Chains A and B, each alone.
Chain A
Amino acid sequence: MYTLGIDIGSASSKVVVLADGQQIVAKKVIPVGTGTSGPQRAFECALHEAGLTSENIARQVVTGYGRMTYAGADEQISEITCHARGVHFLMPKARTIIDIGGQDAKAISIDELGLVVNFVMNEKCAAGTGRFLEVMARVLECDVQDLEKLSAKADQPVLVSSTCTVFAESEVISHLAAGQNRQNIAAGIHQSVARRVLSLARRVGLLPEVVMTGGVALNQGVVLAMAEELKMAVGVAPFPQITGAIGAALLAYEKASRS
């Protein structure tokens, strides 16, 4: 039985096709999200990769910010539930999930069955999210993907103390103008993300194993900064961008196989 999970975020669209709730037969990430052609393109590309058509899909679950306007799914489930399920599938020992996406950050506490115990999300503030890193990358005149290479060469991270993305941008500009090097600033930016997100995550409690997901988890600089701030090992889920889509496909399988 094939099931499909689609996670439509603000900044990207992710699709996973699962066989019998066990094997990922296709996965696709398109770097544009809700309101764009991204969801449809991700859907078509994933089916093509799996060698399937939409008629082969027994059940489809949609999640993410764009779930309310997506027509074509059998059910829409919140990204909290889907991420929990997806991470549990990939890393059964995970108990705390820190998911940082394009515009939001969330911490989810799960139990041994992958059920959500508690969760907390950022409130109307993009500090500590992918958007924060995009703004900083622009100021440092590099791609977002290059921030981790920069911070890996830092010898003394520069403190970026402003919690607001806009004020932090001004602060980074001041550091550059004062002659600080980009490597140390990048490391300071990663520490700022770690501090901001962990102050949120501590509200749900941080039980090991702590696992990061979401696009920002691809940035090893942020992962290392998290581990240093937490004084705890921080893992990264395999395929960190698609854990929500995996969870959605799994939940689709659970319901399809029951009926």
Chain B
Amino acid sequence: MSRMQKLLSDFEYIAHHPAQMLQQWKAATGGKAVGIMPIHCAEEVVYAAGMLPIGMWGGQTTISRANEYLQAFCCSIMKAVMEFSLSGAYKNLDAIICPETCDTLRPVPLMLRLSDPDTPVIGLVLPDNRKLQAGIEFTANEYRNIAGQLAKITGKPVTDEALHASIELYNRHHMVMMDFYALAAEHGDVITPYYRHQVVKSSFFIPKDRHLALVEGLTAELRKLPQTSEKRLRVVVTGIMTEPDELLILLDEFGFVIAADDLAQGSRQFRTPTPADPDPYIRLGKRFADFEGCSCVSDPLKLRGKILADMVRTRQADGVIVLIMKFCDPEEYDYPYIKKDIEDAGIPHLYLEIEQQMDSLGQCRTRLQAFAELISRRKWLVAK
């Protein structure tokens, strides 16, 4: 097995075995772990507390008991989270941080406390007026509160020095991830959409320093290879996530390469560096102020569509695939705006409704195939 294959295999294993990764880390370090609910939560505070942040992005399960807590018109990610909580899958977590990302997530802390009273759930409220000085300070105070709650669990305070060091590590990690994205776009035959996702998803289940080293190893190997994306159809994907795995395999089957992404479980985690400031909590507040382009973050200028159009131009993409997670209201509300900006820029796009658990992908197959035919015929016409 080549080093590249070994690395990809490792990423795949980590991404598919979060519970095992957590167990191994706890056994090795004796440390405590904190579940992080989507979308925007500065894991740096958890890392600075000496704890392991573990992403809680749902997963593959049969939804049964979650319907006791959640309405039918609720996103499949939250249904999976509740199902896992009720089945005891989160028993090994010492706390959960839950941001008020959307109307569905707003009552989730209460539901988690009801389903598992032994695991503390810490709420995180991120402000709409995030760019005002008062907003930055509000965000900073939310993270100070989280640090205080975590200190009660570990018995040790979170120092400013530890948080600064954590922020620097995460900044380096995020730069390496953006570098990986750029390389992945040019090596589509090796970094297929499936493997691209495994690299991203695995970042939520192991310490960032370990993940950073693995990704640097991968990018070093990629740099040795010739580029292989010339015959592929380059797309920007936007939405919450690209799951299930079968969807990713379909993208590869129709010859797509992901030239860039605007995914909540993707570049929205990595593309905004944390700026400098003497106060590490203010740094986190400033990052949230600087961030742009998420349906769950106040965006009064509606910049997301223009960000997508710029991504298409910068990465020389042929089109955009808008992955709408079924019942995700924020993403649906954004769609008319991004549709207009993409169409005004003359960029073809596909609206594709997905769920995290999909037994039958026949409808996705038809739509993806039609979109692949659409953009390849246009490319042929332009080339002619």
Q: Which residues of A contact B (CB under 8 A)?
A: 65, 68, 77-81, 113, 115-121, 123-124, 203
- Chain B positions 46-101 with a Cβ under 8 Å from a chain A Cβ: none
The chain A residue with its CB closest to the CB of B369 is: A78
A78 to B378, CA, bound (A): 16
Q: Tally B residues with Cβ within 8 Å of A.
A: 18
Q: Which residues of A contact B365 (CB under 8 A)?
A: 68
| A interface footprint on B194-224 (CB within 8 Å = 1, 0 otherwise) | 0000000000000000000000000000000
Q: Does the CB pair A78–B362 fall under 8 Å?
A: no
Q: A116–B351 contact, CB under 8 A?
A: no
Q: A119 CA to B371 CA in the complex, in Å? A: 9
- The answer on a CB contact under 8 Å between A123 and B353 is yes
What A residues does B353 contact at CB under 8 A? 123-124
**B315-363 contacts to A (CB < 8 Å):** 326, 339, 348-349, 351, 353, 362-363
Are A121 and B367 closer than 8 Å at their CB atoms? Answer: yes
Contacting pair A80 B377 (CB below 8 A): no
A120 and chain B: residue at smallest CB distance: B351
The answer on a CB contact under 8 Å between A78 and B366 is yes
Indicate if the CB atoms of B363 and A77 lie closer than 8 Å.
no
Q: Shortest Cβ distance from A158 into chain B, in angstroms?
A: 28
Chain A CB within 8 A of B132 CB: no
| Given A123-B353, A124-B353, A116 and B363 contact (CB-CB distance below 8 Å) | no
Nearest first, the 4 A-B pairs at minimum CB distance are A80-B370, A78-B370, A78-B369, A81-B373
Main secondary structure of the interface of A (DSSP, over half): mixed
- Which residues of A have CB within 8 Å of B349? 118
Shortest beta-carbon distance, A41 to chain B, in Å?
A: 23
Given A123-B353, A124-B353, are A77 and B366 also a contact pair (CB < 8 Å)?
no
A243 to chain B, nearest CB (A): 15
Assess the A79–B378 pair: CB atoms within 8 A.
no
| Complex alpha-carbon distance, A115 and B367, angstroms | 16
Known: A115-B377, A118-B348, A124-B353. A65 touches B362 (CB 8 A): yes
Q: How far is the CA of A120 from the CA of B365 in the complex (A)?
A: 14
Identify which of A78, A113, A117, A121 gathers the most chain B CB atoms within 10 Å of its CB: A78
* Contact among A78, A113, A120, A123 with B373 in the assembled complex (CB-CB below 8 Å): A78
Q: Is B383 an interface residue (CB 8 A)?
A: no
How many residue pairs link A and B with beta carbons under 8 A? The number is 47
Q: Does B28 lie at the interface of the complex (its beta carbon under 8 Å from any beta carbon of A)? A: no
Alpha-carbon gap, A68 to B351, bound state (A): 22
Is B370 in contact with A81, judged by CB distance below 8 angstroms? Answer: yes
A80 to B348: give the CA distance in the assembly, Å.
15
Contacts of A121 in B (CB 8 A): 363, 366-367
**Which A residue sits closest to B254, measured CB to CB?**
A78
How far, in Å, is A108 (CB) from chain B's closest CB?
Answer: 9
Shortest C-beta distance, A239 to chain B (Å), equals 22
B351–A115 CB distance below 8 A? no
Question: Is A115 touching B370 in the complex (CB atoms < 8 A)?
Answer: no
- Is B374 interfacial (CB-CB < 8 Å)? yes
Query: Across the interface, do A119 and B366 meet the contact criterion of CB distance under 8 Å?
Result: no
Cβ-defined contact, A81 with B362, below 8 A: no
Shortest Cβ gap from A68 to chain B (Å): 7
State in angstroms the CA–CA spacing of A115 and B373 once bound together: 10
Give 17 CB contacts A-B under 8 Å.
Answer: A68-B362, A78-B369, A78-B373, A79-B370, A80-B370, A80-B373, A80-B374, A81-B370, A81-B373, A81-B377, A115-B377, A115-B378, A115-B381, A116-B373, A119-B374, A121-B363, A123-B353
Apart from A65-B362, A119-B374, A124-B363, 7 more pairs, CB < 8 Å: A68-B362, A78-B366, A80-B374, A81-B374, A115-B378, A118-B349, A123-B326
Of residues B353, B370, B374, B377, which shows the largest number of chain A Cβ atoms within 10 Å of its Cβ?
B370
Choose among B326, B366, B370, B374 the residue that contacts A65 (Cβ–Cβ < 8 A). B366
Residues of B within 8 A of A68 (CB): 362, 365
* Residues in B neighbouring A78, C-beta threshold 8 A: 366, 369-370, 373
B residues near A117, Cβ cutoff 8 Å? 348, 374
Complex CA gap A116/B363 in Å reads: 18
Task: Tell me the bound Cα distance from A259 to B363 in angstroms.
Answer: 32
Closest A residue to B380 by CB, please name it: A115
Residue among B349, B351, B362 facing the most chain A CB atoms (10 A cut-off): B351
Closest chain B residue to A65, Cβ basis: B362
Q: How distant is the Cα of A148 from the Cα of B106 in the complex, in angstroms?
A: 49
Inter-chain CA distance A113–B339, complex, in Å, is 24
Q: For B366, what are the chain A residues with a Cβ–Cβ distance below 8 Å?
A: 65, 78-80, 121
Residues of A within 8 A of B381 (CB): 113, 115
Q: For A203, list chain B residues within 8 Å (CB).
A: 339, 351
B374 and A116 within 8 A (CB): yes
Within the assembled complex, what's the spacing in Å between the Cα atoms of A120 and B374?
13
| B362-A116 in contact (CB<8A) | no
Complex Cα distance, B373 from A79, in Å, reads: 11
User: Which residues of chain A have C-beta atoms less than 8 A from B370's C-beta?
Assistant: 78-81, 116, 119
Minimal beta-carbon separation of B5 from chain A (angstroms): 30
Find chain A residues with CB under 8 A from B351 CB.
Answer: 120, 203
Complex interface: chain B residues within 8 A of A115 (CB): 374, 377-378, 381
Residues of B within 8 A of A116 (CB): 370, 373-374, 377
